[in-house]
Amino acid sequence: MIVVKIELWPGGSEVRAKEIGRMLIHNKTYQRDGRRADYGIRLLRRGSLTRITRTAEVLNHARLSNSIWKLVRKALVALDV
């Protein structure tokens, strides 16, 4: 599972960090050769580890030839946020 956590650091202070968003990306299926995969996406309510506010899927993602940031971008687009 990939966890994308967004924090706000007031005045640049990590000590005062507050989590303001979290997205979970989990693998659903791989193709036989492992080059492509389908992912489930869950957007969580701020401050909660269990309250899901939106779900989506990224299908047929070229996981070996793309960076993690491309998957994150596709997840955000799929969530329509």
Cβ count near 11 (within 10 Å): 5
Distance between CA atoms of 44 and 46, rounded to whole angstroms? 6
Alpha-helix runs per DSSP H in 1-81: 68-79
pLDDT given at position 13: 97
**For the whole model, what pTM was predicted?**
0.86
Edge-first strand order for the sheet with 2-8 is: 2-8, 18-30, 36-44, 52-62
Residue 18, Cα to own-chain centre: how many angstroms? 18
| Per-residue pLDDT, 31 | 79
Contact yes or no for 10/16 (Cβ under 8 A): yes
Q: What spatial distance separates the first Cα and last Cα of the chain, rounded to whole Å?
A: 21
- Give the pLDDT of residue 78: 97
* Residue 10 in this model has a pLDDT that exceeds 90: yes
pLDDT digits (tens, 9 = 90+) for 16-58: 999 999 999 999 988 778 899 999 999 998 877 789 999 999 9
Domain limits, the chain: 2-79
